[in-house]
Amino acid sequence: MRTKFNVFLTLLLALVVQISFAQEKEITGVVTEAGSGDPIPGANVVIKGTNKGAATDFDGKYTIKANPGEVLVFSVVGYQPVERKVGSANTINVSLKQGDQLTTVVINAIGVEVKKRTEKGISTSKVKAKVLQTTGEQDPIAALSGKMSGVKINMASGDPGASANIVIRGPKTILGSTQPLFVIDGIPVRGGLRSSSVDGVERPSKIGDIDPNDIASVKILKGAAAAALWGTEGANGVVLITTKSGKYAKKGSIGVSVSSSISFDSALTKYPLQDKFGQGSAGIWSTSSLSWGDKISDRPGGPDDVDTTGDYFVDQDGKTWYPILTKKSKEVFNNKNYDAVINQGMQIKNGIQLTAATQKASYFLSISNLKDNGIFENSYYDRTTVNFNNSIKPSKKLKITTNFQYTNAKQNAIQKGSNVSGLLLGLYRTPADFDNSGYIGTKFKSDPNQPNVLKSQRSYRKPVGTDYKKGPGYNNPLFTEYVQKNPYKSNHVVTGVNLSYQLNEWLTLIARSGLDYASSKDETYFPIHSGNYPKGNYSSTLNSYYRINNDFIGQISKNLNDKISLDLLMGLNFSHYKSEYLNGYYGDFLLNTDTPTDDNAVDQQKNPYFKTYIIRKTAGYGSATFSYDNMLFTTLTGRGEYASTFGDFIFYPSVSVAWDFNKIDALKDSEVINSGTLRASFAKVGNEPNPYLLDTYYVGANDSDGWGAQWSASSYDGSIWRDIIQGNPNIKPETTTEIEGGMDLRMFDRLNLNFTYYNSKSKDLILYVPQAASSGYQYKWDNVASMTNKGIELELGYDIIKKDDLKWNLGMTYTQNDNVVTDLAGSDYISLNGFTSTSSGVAQGKPFGVLRSTDFERDNEGNLVLDANGFPKAGEKIYAGDPNPDFLAGIHTDLSYKGIKLRVLVDGSFGGKSWDGTTGALTHFGRTLETANEVNISATDATTIVNITGAPVNTLSYAHLNTDGSYTVRGNIKDFGAGPVLLDQVWYNTIGSGFGPVGTQFFKDATWVKLREVSLSYSLKADILKKAKIKSIDFGITGRNLWLWTKDNWGMDPETNLSGSSKGRGLQYFNHPTTKSFLFSTKINF
C-alpha cells in the first residue's frame, strides 16, 4: 500500500514539475533558525549558478521568482547554507542550523570578522537586539541588567538621562577607570561616564548616546584572554556593540519601519516619613530645623495665628505668608510637598528606520528622537540620533563599509545628594506641618529703612523668605527644581570606514579608520539665595574630545593539511586621542539674573581652568589559531605597544585552548550531549596610566594643610615652583593576569550551560606614594598596589516547550566575584568617596570599596561599653561593611505563541552592606517613623528609666503625664545591656543621629530583588494590512522595574549609589529614586 502510494506521489510530482517548468513562478517562504524557530532576517536567497537573488525581510520572509528545477541557496553569516530545489510548491520554508561553529564568522575583539573557531577558548556573553529593545531602557548598558553573567550594572538614579555603571569581573584598578572599553562597529569609543561625587547632578554617559533600537547585538568580552588584543585597554573587559546594517528587501524597494513608544514613569520607592509630630524641638512648635515639635493631633485646629505686623512674604502665586505666632492647624503636607516635586514622568520616542540592499550594496538609515520628562519636575532628557550604515562591494574582492552615528543630547538635571541645594535633602527634612508651595517671591521688610528682598527663597527654615544674599538653610525642593538650572548639551559622532580586500582565497587585507568625537557643555546655575551659594554661582564646562583609530590588518585562513588549519591575523594600530576642557565659574552675583555673563561678578570671583590631554598609542598585534581535526583549538595572541602615557614598550600575550569533547568517538552520536567544549586560557592585559605621570612639572605655588588652611601665590603676585609630586619616567601600565577555565554544554537538545571560573591578579596599580619630604618631594607616582578577583559565572538555558508555534524557555544567570586588595604599599586606607564619618575606599586585605565608619565603643569580646546611664559610647573607626554583593542572579523566561511573545526577567543582588545615611540624617531631624513612636511608661518605671543625659522620664518636659500617673513620651525604649533606657530627642540628636559619630548603626543589608521586566508583544500580519502596503504591525507593552524587594527596610532602592558611577560604593544619602515604568510601543513595518 505504502509503495503504491509513493509511486502515485512521484508521478504526481513529476507532473507538477513538468507543468511548472513551463513558467517562472513566485516562491515565498520563511527562513527560520533551527531550534529556536526565530525568523532570520537578511538571509540570502540566490538561484544557484546565477546572480538572481533575494533576501529575507525582518520576519525572515522572502519572495523570489524561479523556475521549477532551479536550486535555491539559502545562506547567511553564522548558519550552515541550505539548498532546495524548486518544485511544485509555491512556499519553501527552511530552517537554518547554526553554522558549524568552526567556520562560521563572528566579530572578534577588535571588531573584525573572524572564524568562530578562533574564539573557542574564551568566554563571551552575547545579547541580541530584540532582547535589548523590549526592556524599555533607553541606555544600552541599563538594558543589559540581569541578562548576562560576570557583569555588575548599577543605575545611578532615576534622573532622565542618568547613566548606568558597568563593571566586568570586578574592579582592577584603584585610581584608574573601571569602565570597560566600548567598541562600536570596530571603533573604540569612550564610555564617557562622569565620575560623580556626593552632590551635583547625574549626567548621561556617552555610551547612552546610542539608541538601543539601532543595535544589532552586544557582545561582552569578559575575560583577559578575550580582550587581550586590546592590550593596555583590555583590563576592564570589552563591550562590543554592532549596529544594524542594511537588510535585503524586495528588489527596488526599501524596507521602512516606523516606531513609536510612550512610557509612563513613576518613582519606584518612596521614603516613609512621619506626620505625627510637627516642626520644633522638645515637644514645642518652633521654626527649628527639626521635627521634634508638638503632636499635630493635639492642636486645636483652624488657621494658625500669624503676625501681620512684621516681615512677610508674597510668593510666586501672590499668596502672602506671615510669620506664625501660634501653630493651630492640623493640616499635614507630606504628600502635597512630595507630589509637587516628584510625580509622573513620561517618555515619548519616535523613530524611523529605512533599509535597502542589493547584491552590491546595502544601506541602513535610522533616525529617532527620545523625549524623557522625568519624574522630577523641570528635569528632562532629549536625545536625537541619526545612524547611517552602508556597505558597498565595487568588485568581488573589495568591500567598503562605512558607519556613521550622530547623537544630539540635551538634559536638565536636578541637584542631588549631600547638598543643601539638593532636592531630597530639603524635601525629606521639611516638617510634616510645613507647606512648601510658596518657594520664591518678595520678602517685605517691616523696617522702612530696609529694602524689600526680591526673588527671596522661602523654605521651612526661612518661612518668610531669605534676606538678601542669605541662604535658606536647606533649599525648598521647588526652588531646587524650578529656579536652579543644570543644563547639559552634547553632540557626539562615531564614524568609520572599513576597506576589506580579499587578495586571494586565503588572504584578506583590511584598512580601517574610526573617529569618536564629542563636544559637550555642562552648566550649573545657582541663583542668589540658593542653599549652598547664597550669593549666587555659575559654572560652565566645555569639553571636546576625539579619538582617531587606524588599523592595518592582514588575515590568513588556510588548511595546512587534512587535519590542521591555521587562522592568522596580524595588525598595526595607530591611535590618537585628544581631550580639551575649558571650565570657568564666577560667584557672588551683582544682579540676580540667570543670564550667564561674567559681567555679573567682580574679577576676584571669576575663575578659569583649562586642560588638554593627548594620548598617542601604537601597537602591533597578532593572533594565531591552530585547529586540529575540528576538535582541538589553540589560539595565541600578542600585542606590543608604545604609548605616550608610559615609558617602555610593553607586550601582552594570551593563550587559550578549547576541546570539543563531544567529538570523540564515544560521544559522537550521543543523544544526551549535543555539543560540549572544555576551555582554558591565560592572558595578560593592562590598564592605562593617566597621562603625564612621567615627568615632574612646575606648577602654580600653593599649599594647604589637612584642616582647611591654604595659601595660593595667585592670590598675591603669582609664583611657579616645582610640584611636590614627583613624576616617574618608569611608570608602566597596571597589569592584570588572569587564568580562566570553563565549559560550554548543550544537552538533550534543550539544555544550554556555560560555566566559567576565573582568577585574576592585578598588580603594579598606580598610587601616589608618600615620600620622605626631606628628599624634596612629598609624593611620587608609582606602580605599587595589587589586588585579586576570583569568580564564577554561570548561564543556563532550558527549552521547556519547543513546538513550531509554542515555545517556552527558561534562563538563568549567576555571577560571583570576590575581590581582595592584597597590597596597598603601606597606606592604611585610601578613601574613594563618601564622608569623613562614613566612606568607601580601599584597605589592604579588604575588598574594593570597603566601607569605613565609626562604631560604638566595644570591649575585647565585642560587647558595648556603656556609660553610667546605660547608653553606649562612640568608639573607633572600623571597616564596617563590604558593599560588594556575595552574588548576583537573574532568571528570565520567554514564552511565544504564534505572534505573541511574553518575557519576564527577575534579577537580584544578594549580600553586601550599604550605609543608609538618609535614615541617619532624618533620625536627627525626627522625620523617620521610628522617631515618631510614642511609648507608655508606668508611674514607677518613669522614675527609673532615664534618657542619655540621665534624666528620668518623669522629669522630661516633653513627657506627657497621663491621668493614671503613667507617662507617654515620644521615643523608644531600648536595652543596651544595662536595663531599659529611653531613646528620645536627646539620643536621636546626638549619638543616635546620623550626624553623630557612630555611623555603623545605619548599616543595612543591601540585598534586593527586582522584577526588572515584563514584556508582552504581538506581531499583527493581516491581509487587510497588505492592501495598505503594510507588512506587519508590532505591538508591545513592557513593565519595567515593576517591583522591588529588599531584605532590610530601606524605603529607597539600594541599587542606587550616592556617588553615581564613581568607585565609592554602598552609600545612600538622599539618593534620587529609580523609576518604574509602563511602556507601550508600536512599530509599523512597510
Partner 1 sequence: MKKLRIVNILILLLLLTGSCKKYVEGYEKDPNGLLETNIEQITQGILLEQQFALKDEGLRTAMIWLNQATGSQRQFLSFNNWNSVGNNQFDGPWGQLYTVISEARVMEDLADKAGNEKSRGLAKLLRAWAGGELAELWGDVPFSQAGLPDQFPDPKYDAQADVFAQVQSLLDEAIVDLNGAKIIYGDKDIFFSGDASKWIKVAHGLKARFYLAAGDYSNAKTEAAMGPSSTDDDMYAKFNSYVAPRGQWNPTFQFYWERDGYMSAENSYGVQITMNGGRDNAKTYEIIRAYYNYAPGSWWQSGYDYDLNVMIADWVGTNGKFGGPMELVTYGEMLLIQAEAEARTNGVAAALPIYNQYRTLLDNDNYLGHWGPVLSSNLTPPYGFYLPYDLTDFQAGGIENQDNVSELQAFLRELFEERYVFFIGDYQAFNDYARSFNDPDVPQYFQLKSGFNGQPLRFIYPQSEIDSNDNFPGEAPKVTVPLPMYQ
Q: Can you list the positions of beta strands (E) in 560-665?
A: 564-587, 606-628, 632-643, 650-660
- The percent of the chain in helix, strand and coil, each rounded to the nearest 5, is 10, 50, 40
Q: Can you list the positions of beta strands (E) in 720-778?
A: 720-722, 725-726, 734-747, 751-770
CB of 700 to partner 1, least distance (A): 8
CA distances 446 to 311, 327, 452, 463, 968, Å, are: 5, 22, 9, 15, 42
Name the one range near partner 1 by CB under 8 A: 4-12, 310-318, 773-781, 930-938.
773-781
Q: Is 504 in the site for partner 1 (CB under 8 A)?
A: yes
Residue window 825-844: x/- pattern of binding to partner 1, with contact defined by CB under 8 A: -x------------------
Give 425: exposed, middle or buried? Use CB within 10 Å, 0-12, 13-18, 19+.
Answer: buried
Q: Is 720 in the site for partner 1 (CB under 8 A)?
A: yes
Q: Given candidates 89, 216, 284, 724, which one binds partner 1 under the rule CB under 8 A?
A: 724
CB of 284 to partner 1, least distance (A): 23
Rank residues 204 and 999 by Cβ distance to partner 1 and give the closer one: 999
Residue window 245-264: x/- pattern of binding to partner 1, with contact defined by CB under 8 A: --------------------
Residue type at 986? V
CB of 817 to partner 1, least distance (A): 32
Residue window 518-557: x/- pattern of binding to partner 1, with contact defined by CB under 8 A: ----------------------------------x-x---
Q: Is 770 in the site for partner 1 (CB under 8 A)?
A: yes
Query: What does the alpha-carbon distance between residue 380 and residue 161 come to, in Å, rounded to a whole number?
Result: 8
Q: Is 505 in the site for partner 1 (CB under 8 A)?
A: no
Name the one range near partner 1 by CB under 8 A: 640-648, 856-864, 940-948, 1006-1014.
640-648
Strands of the 94-96 sheet, one edge to the other: 61-66, 25-33, 94-96
Query: What does the alpha-carbon distance between residue 457 and residue 231 come to, in Å, rounded to a whole number?
Result: 54
Strands of the 913-916 sheet, one edge to the other: 1003-1005, 913-916, 1067-1068
836: number of Cβ within 10 Å: 9
Q: Is 344 in the site for partner 1 (CB under 8 A)?
A: no
Q: Is 863 in the site for partner 1 (CB under 8 A)?
A: no
CB of 979 to partner 1, least distance (A): 30
Residue type at 109? A
Provide DSSP, 23-49.
S-EEEEEEEEETTT--B-TT-EEEETT
Q: Is 719 in the site for partner 1 (CB under 8 A)?
A: yes
Q: Given candidates 778, 822, 933, 943, which one binds partner 1 under the rule CB under 8 A?
A: 778
Give phi and psi for 61, each to the nearest 5: -90, 150
Q: Given candidates 670, 702, 940, 1049, which one binds partner 1 under the rule CB under 8 A?
A: 702
Q: Given candidates 775, 860, 957, 963, which one binds partner 1 under the rule CB under 8 A?
A: 775
Q: Using CA of residue 968, residue 972, residue 975, residue 978, what is the dihedral sign?
A: negative
How many residues are given for the chain?
Answer: 1086
Q: Is 367 in the site for partner 1 (CB under 8 A)?
A: no
Rounded to whole angstroms, the maximal C-alpha distance in the chain is: 117
Q: Is 511 in the site for partner 1 (CB under 8 A)?
A: no
Q: Given candidates 773, 801, 865, 1022, which one binds partner 1 under the rule CB under 8 A?
A: 773
CA-based nearest residue to 786, from 834, 731, 848, 725: 848
Residue where the block lists cell 582554558: 680
Q: Is 697 in the site for partner 1 (CB under 8 A)?
A: yes
Q: Given candidates 505, 665, 717, 859, which one binds partner 1 under the rule CB under 8 A?
A: 717
CB of 1083 to partner 1, least distance (A): 47
CA-based nearest residue to 377, from 344, 332, 421, 333: 344
Q: Is 713 in the site for partner 1 (CB under 8 A)?
A: yes
Query: What does the alpha-carbon distance between residue 729 and residue 695 come to, in Å, rounded to a whole number?
Result: 6
CB of 537 to partner 1, least distance (A): 15
Question: Considering only residues 563-602, where is the footprint of partner 1 by CB under 8 A?
Answer: 570, 572, 574
Residue window 794-813: x/- pattern of binding to partner 1, with contact defined by CB under 8 A: --------------------
By CB under 8 A, how many residues form the interface with partner 1? 66
Query: What does the alpha-carbon distance between residue 499 and residue 497 come to, in Å, rounded to a whole number?
Result: 7
Q: Given candidates 178, 387, 645, 1001, which one binds partner 1 under the rule CB under 8 A?
A: 645
The DSSP code for 376 is: B
CB of 780 to partner 1, least distance (A): 9
* Contact of 431 with 293, CB cutoff 8 Å: yes
- Chain centroid to Cα 457, Å, comes to 35
Question: Considering only residues 596-625, where is the footprint of partner 1 by CB under 8 A?
Answer: 604, 610-612, 614-620
Rank residues 304 and 580 by Cβ distance to partner 1 and give the closer one: 580
* Contact of 528 with 534, CB cutoff 8 Å: yes
- Chain centroid to Cα 463, Å, comes to 39
Q: Is 876 in the site for partner 1 (CB under 8 A)?
A: no
CB of 502 to partner 1, least distance (A): 13
Q: Is 714 in the site for partner 1 (CB under 8 A)?
A: yes
Question: Considering only residues 726-745, where is the footprint of partner 1 by CB under 8 A?
Answer: 726
CB of 393 to partner 1, least distance (A): 21
Q: Given candidates 406, 517, 777, 910, which one binds partner 1 under the rule CB under 8 A?
A: 777
Q: Over 777-844, what HEC string results?
A: CCEEEEEEEEEEEEEEEEEEEEEEEECCCEEEEEEEEEEEEEEEEEECCCCCEEEEEECCCEEEEEEC
Name the one range near partner 1 by CB under 8 A: 44-52, 501-509, 521-529, 1060-1068.
501-509
Residue 638: beta bridge partners? Answer: 622, 653
Residue 636 C-beta-side C-alpha neighbours within 13 Å: 3
Q: Given candidates 8, 21, 628, 721, which one binds partner 1 under the rule CB under 8 A?
A: 721
CB of 172 to partner 1, least distance (A): 24
Query: What does the alpha-carbon distance between residue 351 and residue 386 come to, in Å, rounded to a whole number?
Result: 10
Task: Give residues in contact with partner 1 (CB under 8 A).
Answer: 503-504, 509, 552, 554, 570, 572, 574, 604, 610-612, 614-620, 642-645, 647, 649, 691-692, 694-695, 697-699, 701-703, 705-722, 724, 726, 769-778, 826
